[in-house]
Structure 1
Amino acid sequence: MITAFALVFTGICVGFLSALLGIGGGALIIPVMVIVFGYPIHTAIATSLIVIVATSSSAASVNVLKGLVNIRLGIYLEMITAAGAVAGGLISTNLPEKPLTLSFSIFLLIMAFLFYKGTRAKDVMEYQQKDTSGVFQAKFYDTQKKEYVTYKAKNIPYTTLLSGFAGLISGSLGLGGGIFKVPAMNAVSKLPMKTATATSNFMIGMTAAAGALIYFKSGYVQPLPSGMMVIGVVLGSNISARTIGKIKDATIKNIFLIFIVFVAIQMLIRSLG
Structure 2
Amino acid sequence: MYNFDIETPSTVKDAVAALKQEDAQPLSGGQTLIPTMKQRLAMPSALVSLKGIDEMRGICEDDDGRLCIGGSTTHAEVAAGAGTYPALAALAGQIGDPAVRNRGTIGGSVANNDPAACYPAAVLASGATVTTDRREIAADDYFQGMFTTALEEGEIVTEVKFPVPEKAAYMKFEQPASRFALVGVFVAKYPDGVRVAVTGASEEGVFRWSKAEAALSSDFSGAALDGLSLSGDGMINDLHGSGDYRAHLVKVMTKRAVEAA
TM over 0.5: no
**Larger Cα-atom Rg:** 2
TM score, norm. by length of structure 1: 0.23
Q: Which has the higher strand share?
A: 2
Q: Which has the higher helix share?
A: 1
